[in-house]
Amino acid sequence: QVQLVESGGGLVQSGGSLRLSCAASGRDLNYHTIGWFRRAPGKEREGVSCISSRDSITNYRDSVKGRFTIARDYAKKTVYLQMDSLKPEDTAVYYCAIDPVGNVCELDLTLYTYWGQGTQVTVSS
């Protein structure tokens, strides 16, 4: 059974930073593309960033480019999302997910099979 666990969410003021972590049991994250997604109140879930397995190629949605950084720690089998210069519009529940098949990094929700329960990020103005 695959379980993903996100951590690191919280309440932060606008302009602040948070680092989200994604760890898994039942799957070795090092061998899969990992995506970060978010769902803001009243909105659809959207892709934020992803990182491929083999070459750690990354991808970001336009609104977070230059502010968010995704990275892997192969030794800890953990994927991080460093979020800087946070804005109120970044407020959402953030989820990490595994694409079990693909070797590239795409922010297409339908490619991701395993999902965590999410961690709340709230940015106050």
pLDDT-derived band at 55, boundaries 50, 70, 90: confident
For residues 58 and 82, the answer to whether their CB atoms sit within 8 Å is no
Q: To 10 degrees, the CA torsion angle through 74, 75, 79, 84?
A: -110
Which region, left, alpha or beta, applies to residue 101 given φ > 0 means left and ψ of -120 to 50 means alpha? alpha
User: What pLDDT was estimated at residue 89?
Assistant: 97
H/E stretch holding 79 reads strand 78-83
pLDDT single digits (tens) 6-33: 999 999 999 999 999 999 988 889 999 9
Quick one: which of 69, 50, 19, 34 has its CA closest to 10? Answer: 19
User: What pLDDT was estimated at residue 27?
Assistant: 86
* CA atoms 47, 10, 83, 53: torsion sign: negative
Query: Is the pLDDT reported for residue 103 higher than 90?
Result: no
What number is the average pLDDT over the span 63-67?
Answer: 98
Neighbours of 85 (CB within 10 A): 13
- The number of residues in the chain equals 125
User: What pLDDT was estimated at residue 1?
Assistant: 87
